């Protein structure tokens, strides 16, 4: 399952590491859009398979940020 960007912006920080177990609603990373920090949350319980971004990356809306194995 893909975790997609809710907005255009920049990745500020990753809140968990690749391989981490997460629950639905857990914060996975934080992005900044128009000077507002937006938490990106896990859409389901599972394990973070990979991050496709790193802090500092510019992102577009609906860009795949990470992949979660539910």
| Model pLDDT, residue 69 | 95
Kindly report the length of the chain.
70
| Model pLDDT, residue 70 | 83
Q: What are the structural domains of the chain?
A: 2-69 (2.40.50.100)
Q: pLDDT tens-digit profile of 23-51?
A: 999 999 999 999 999 999 999 999 999 99
Instruction: Give the separation between CA 28 and CA 10, rounded to whole angstroms.
Output: 14
Whole-model pTM? Answer: 0.92
Q: 7 near 63, Cβ under 8 Å?
A: no
């Amino acid at each position: 399952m893909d975790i997609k960007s809710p907005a255009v912006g920049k990745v500020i920080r990753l809140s968990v590491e690749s391989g981490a177990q997460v629950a639905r609603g857990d914060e996975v990373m934080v992005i900044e859009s128009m000077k507002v920090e937006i938490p990106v949350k896990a859409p389901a319980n599972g394990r973070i398979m990979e991050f496709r971004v790193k802090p500092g990356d510019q992102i577009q809306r609906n860009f795949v940020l990470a992949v979660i194995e539910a």
